[in-house]
Amino acid sequence: MSRKDYPETPDGRYFVSKGRLWRKTDPRLDDSTRRRAVKALMQARRAVGQAETESDEREARDRVDAAKRELGERGPVWWEDGAPDEGGKHPNNTSYAEWWSGLSDAERARGDPAD
């Protein structure tokens, strides 16, 4: 399932997968920056799976983190209205609870199969 199939919050900050809010990529990134960071992320994820030592794995995981930070998916939030980062939480436990409860059963099931 691609990200576009998951429910997205009305403000475009998160999508819901496996019952959790996941921060989306900063939409202000120019295409070349975004593409470079996505490529680095995919290479780093591949390296995690191919790591033969703990230190190789740690280095690869650090590269994953760096790429996700460049994309705005981790680290300081990319929005500027002072809203906190609610990533990693179930939508029912966030400021998005009303939006989540207003979705159809089918829409919620796309983001939270256990719901």
Query: Distance between CA atoms of 95 and 12, rounded to whole angstroms?
Result: 14
Q: What is the pLDDT of residue 96?
A: 98
Q: Does position 1 have pLDDT exceeding 80, yes or no? A: no
Structure tokens at 62: 């650090």
Average pLDDT value for residue range 25-53: 98
Q: Could you read off the pLDDT of 77-90 as tens digits, one per residue?
A: 999 999 999 999 99
Q: What is the pLDDT of residue 4?
A: 61
Query: Distance between CA atoms of 75 and 73, rounded to whole angstroms?
Result: 7
- Between CA 35 and CA 43, with CA 40 as vertex, the angle to 5 degrees is 125
Give me the phi and psi of 21, to 5 degrees please.
-80, 130
Q: What pTM does this model have?
A: 0.87
Query: Distance between CA atoms of 57 and 27, rounded to whole angstroms?
Result: 30
Q: What is the pLDDT of residue 50?
A: 97
Q: Are 78 and 26 in contact (CB under 8 A)?
A: yes
Q: Could you read off the pLDDT of 43-62 as tens digits, one per residue?
A: 999 999 999 999 999 999 99
Structure tokens at 69: 């930070």
Q: What is the pLDDT of residue 12?
A: 96
